[in-house]
Amino acid sequence: MPMTPKPLRRFIALNQALGWMEDASLPFLQSTLGPAAVQISEEAICIDASIDAKTLENALEQAAIKMRDSGWITGWRNERYTVFARDQAGDLDLSQPLFQLERAAFRRFGLTSRAVHINGYTAKAELWIAQRASNKAIDPNKLDNLAAGGISAGENIWDCVIRELSEEAGIPAQLASKAVSSGKLRTTRQEADGWHDEIIYTYDLQLADDFLPKNTDSEVAGFQRFRFEQIEAILPRMTLDAAAVTQAFLEQRGINNAEG
């Protein structure tokens, strides 16, 4: 049964529109900041402008812990993402980090996360597709790109590419360093655990025909190669983000019949 969309309000803090929140998350925020510091209008949830970034970080972290303990946040990772300021166009200004927060809490506040996805392909026009492990907190058993993962606080994009290729596909750094940037895309949607907003940096890596990826961090159940013309049939079995990345890969190669 399709999920019924829940009403969202713009989450405004530090005088910036940082995300989107459901009303059900409000009590957790009010319990840590105090009701007077959380101003609610028809369109937005605004944090008092006098609250600085460090105070806000601590309050959101405590709210997230309460959400976790109540079952409102699952898949706690003990890994932090960075929240960045916005530029004039509304995109992330990576030169202005604001604060950090547990990654599992990002959707509850509708904050913008960042990730890398790497397509692994061969000279025979084949694409390596991973199957996510059954114990993954998000999208278990779904098909995915060769390697993908979120960019942790303090980690740069390239280091994340190298790390994810090593952890998820057993690819050594010397080979991983041949990955080529192919662009970026942004995915937004409402999920059961809040508002998903992610910027994905995409990379392509050509692998030898006899190379076999091997997972090392228990997050991937296995890998399979598909010819480019076979990909359209498996797109519905992929995560939404991986499907978008895969479609972009095919379109860049003039294969435009991959409709999700």
Q: Evaluate the CA torsion angle 196, 150, 218, 177 in order and state its sign.
A: positive
CATH of the domain at 31: 3.30.750.160
Indicate the residue among 46, 64, 84 that finishes a domain: 84
pLDDT of residue 137: 86
pLDDT of residue 4: 67
Beta bridge partners of 186: 199
Please count the CA atoms within 13 angstroms of the CA of 206 that sit on its side-chain side.
4
* Residue 90 located in a structural domain: no
Please count the CA atoms within 13 angstroms of the CA of 31 that sit on its side-chain side.
12
pLDDT of residue 1: 45
* Residue 162 located in a structural domain: yes
Same domain, 135 and 198: yes
* Residue 96 located in a structural domain: no
Same domain, 121 and 239: yes
According to DSSP H, which parts of the chain are helical? 26-33, 53-69, 106-109, 157-169, 173-176, 231-234, 240-252
Per-residue pLDDT of the chain (260 residues; tens, 9 = 90+): 456 678 999 999 999 999 999 999 999 999 999 999 999 999 999 999 999 999 999 999 999 999 999 999 999 999 999 999 999 888 899 999 999 999 999 999 999 999 999 999 999 999 999 999 999 989 999 999 999 999 999 999 999 999 999 999 999 999 999 999 999 999 999 999 999 999 999 999 999 999 999 999 999 999 999 999 999 999 999 999 999 999 999 999 988 654 43
Indicate the residue among 84, 103, 124 that finishes a domain: 84
Which phi and psi angles does 32 have, rounded to 5°? Answer: -100, -35
**pTM tops 0.85:** yes
pLDDT of residue 2: 52
* Residue 204 located in a structural domain: yes
Which amino acid is located at 230 in the chain? Q
pLDDT of residue 130: 97
* Residue 118 located in a structural domain: yes
Taking the C-alpha atoms of residue 187 and residue 83, their distance in angstroms, rounded to an integer, is: 17
* Residue 2 located in a structural domain: no
Domain count, the chain: 2
Taking the C-alpha atoms of residue 174 and residue 190, their distance in angstroms, rounded to an integer, is: 38
pLDDT of residue 6: 83
* Residue 104 located in a structural domain: no
pLDDT of residue 260: 39
Same domain, 232 and 129: yes
Domain that residue 207 falls in: 114-252
* Residue 258 located in a structural domain: no
pLDDT of residue 3: 61
